[in-house]
Amino acid sequence: MPPQLLVVGLGNLPHPNTRHSIGHVIIDVLAAQFTIHRSINRSVGGFKGHSNILSFLDNIVSLTLFKPKLLMNITGPSIASALHNTIKLPASMVVVHNSLNHKVKVLSVKLEGSANGHNSVQSVIDTLGANADFYCFCIGIGRDHAIDPANYMLPDMPLDGLLHWNGISLDRVCHELGRIASR
C-alpha cells in the first residue's frame, strides 16, 4: 500500500483570493495540477478529493486534499473528522496556512509543536490534542506593519499577484510532500 497523505488548506471561503486564504489557494492549485476532483463532503464539513496514485520524488502516494468550509479559526473539529475518515495518523497530515512572520512566498516546513500564534492551527491542536504532531507548511505572506493585519490579509488580490504557484514554488511544495510521504 502506498504512503498516505492528507493535505489540508486553511482559509475562509468568503475570502477566496486573499493572503488570509492562501491554504485554500494551495489546495486549489494542487487539485488542478494533479486533476483531483473535489466535492462537498458533509460528514467532514468541507471539500475533499482523493487520488490513489501520485508521483512525488518517484514515490507513489495516496493523496487526499481537504478544504474546510468552516471559518478558519474554528476548523479544528472539521479537520479532525477529515483526518479520522482518511489516514488516521496525524504525522501523515500536512496543514497549509498563511504566515505573517515569513517573507512573501517563502515556504517553511515543520512538524508541528506549537501554533506560533496562529489561531486556526491552535484550533487543530486543541481538537487533536497537544501530542498529535502534524506537519505545517507555513506560506509566507509578509507583513505591512503600517496597517492593521486584517486590512493587509483580507483584500481580494488577483491570483497572479497573490502567488505564482507554478514552476519552482509548486515544485517545492511537491518536493516537501514527497519527503514527508517517504518517511
DSSP result, 4-70: EEEEEE---TTSTTSGGGHHHHHHHHHHHHTT--EEEETTTTEEEEEEEEEEETTEEEEEEEEEE-S
Contacts of 16 (CB under 8 A, 6+ apart): 24, 25
Between the CA of residue 147 and those of 81, 144, 154, 157, what are the distances in Å? 36, 6, 12, 17
Residue 20 known to be catalytic: yes
Nine-digit cell at 45? 464539513
Q: How wide is the angle at C-alpha 96 spanned by C-alphas 147 and 25, nearest 5°?
A: 75
Q: CA-based Rg of the chain, rounded to a whole angstrom?
A: 15
Q: How far is residue 44's CA from residue 51's CA, in Å, rounded to a whole number?
A: 18
Q: How far is residue 8's CA from residue 137's CA, in Å, rounded to a whole number?
A: 10
CB atoms within 10 A of CB 126: 13
> Which one of the listed residues 20, 24, 97, 118 is annotated catalytic?
20
Among all residues, which ones are annotated catalytic?
A: 20
